[in-house]
Amino acid sequence: MATTKNATIRYQTLDRCFRNPGRRYDIEDLLEECNKQLIDFEPMSDGIKKRQLYQDIKFMESSQGWSILLDRKKEGRITYYKYEDVNFSINNQPINQLEAEQLKSAMIILQRFKGLPQFKWINEILPKIDQAFSLTEDTGDIISFDNNEFLKGLEFIDPLFKAILYKKVIKIVYQSFKNPKQVEIVFSPYHLKEYNNRWFLFGKDSSYDNIINIALDRIVAIEESSFQFEKCEINFEDYFFDVLGVSYNPNQPVEKIIIRVSKALWPYIETKPLHGSQKVKDRQEDYVDISLDLILNYELETLLLSFGEKIKVLEPQSLVEKLKERIYKLKDNYQCT
């Protein structure tokens, strides 16, 4: 269980105990209640010890927590704990310092998405959060993301997301780069995927048996349709595991790709692997050989070519020949006259 969830469960449990007028709790009772809730949430949890419980109470009493006021009533060797004010609850208090810092960090990140159509709700919610909790500070430009707010088609993300969520068939007016004529597609949408700062919609075209993808920047218009939604059982995390990008041929096999990476480039490839299947096969003074298990596609070719002379594909031969062909065409573009 994540530490933050664990702590939240403990604080909420202690809060309920401290404000329960019908029962008295000593430290053993509090420990039992906290561990019961932790194990109910996560059966494999080992619970906590008294030392952690005392630290939790100390935190709740601190200004970094909720500044709670506890009445400690001692009877013999036993001390009972409850709030001095039975109407008090940490859930009725302003956020504490730790929560404020976490919320500020989240707001800084969210602000980078302002202006993008699919995140238009951020424009409305951020001022409300800021006003409610008085969080505004001059944060400056602390973090940036690689996005293109001028990319065509972003306005369709919100309605497409809802169509996927509510399993609605849509009619898409589509303008391919290769076809000058617009076409209408009756589409059951399943999944949105971003790749290389472009968005793609995966789903079932009623005219085809297999799943296809549609680039959002080529969509002209969409509207809801009354056609029956075609169900999808695909786990898209698994669906994309053996492929880079969005070009996917389910009839193509996964192939083992061997790549020789120069010494100069290797630290970058090591710290940012090309794919989750990346493994080191051989390590020499001047190079490192790695293997990838992937379906060959255009995006993979483009990625490999982007490293220029710093890598060399050794296997499979079909990929070597394809890259040679593209390199020869590139070379022709720069022939001296």
Per-residue confidence (pLDDT) for residue 159, from 0 to 100: 87
Per-residue pLDDT of the chain (337 residues; tens, 9 = 90+): 444 678 889 999 999 999 998 899 999 999 999 999 999 888 888 889 999 999 999 999 988 788 899 999 999 999 999 999 988 998 886 666 666 666 666 666 666 665 555 555 565 566 656 655 555 555 455 555 566 667 788 888 888 988 998 899 999 999 988 888 999 999 999 999 988 888 999 999 988 888 899 999 999 999 999 899 998 888 888 888 899 999 888 788 999 999 999 999 999 999 999 999 999 999 999 999 999 999 999 999 999 999 999 999 999 999 999 999 999 999 988 876 5
Domain boundaries of the chain, sorted by first residue = 3-92, 99-133, 154-239, 255-332
Question: Whose structure tokens read 């048996």?
Answer: 209
Q: What are the CA-CA distances from residue 149 to residues 160, 193, 212, 221 (Å)?
A: 18, 16, 25, 19
User: 3-state DSSP call for residue 8?
Assistant: helix
CATH of the structural domain 154-239, one choice from 3.40.50.300, 3.90.1210.10, 3.30.2310.20, 2.30.30.520: 2.30.30.520
Closest by CA to 280, choosing from 254, 301, 309, 259, is: 259
Phi first, then psi, for residue 293 (nearest 5°) are -110, 105
C-alpha–C-alpha distance, residues 80 and 18, integer Å: 10
CATH architecture assignment, domain 3-92: Orthogonal Bundle (1.10)
Per-residue confidence (pLDDT) for residue 158, from 0 to 100: 81
C-alpha–C-alpha distance, residues 185 and 2, integer Å: 44
Q: What's at 103, amino acid-wise? A: L
CATH of the structural domain 255-332, one choice from 3.40.50, 2.60.40, 3.10.20, 3.30.70: 3.30.70
- Strands (E) across 49-181 are located at 70-75, 78-83, 170-174
Integer distance in angstroms from the first to the last C-alpha of the chain? 66
Q: What's at 202, amino acid-wise? A: F
C-alpha–C-alpha distance, residues 318 and 104, integer Å: 52
Helix ranges restricted to H, 272-315: 298-305
User: 3-state DSSP call for residue 316?
Assistant: coil
The total number of residues shown for the chain amounts to 337
Per-residue confidence (pLDDT) for residue 200, from 0 to 100: 93
Question: What is the tally of helices (H) and strands (E) in the chain?
Answer: 10, 12
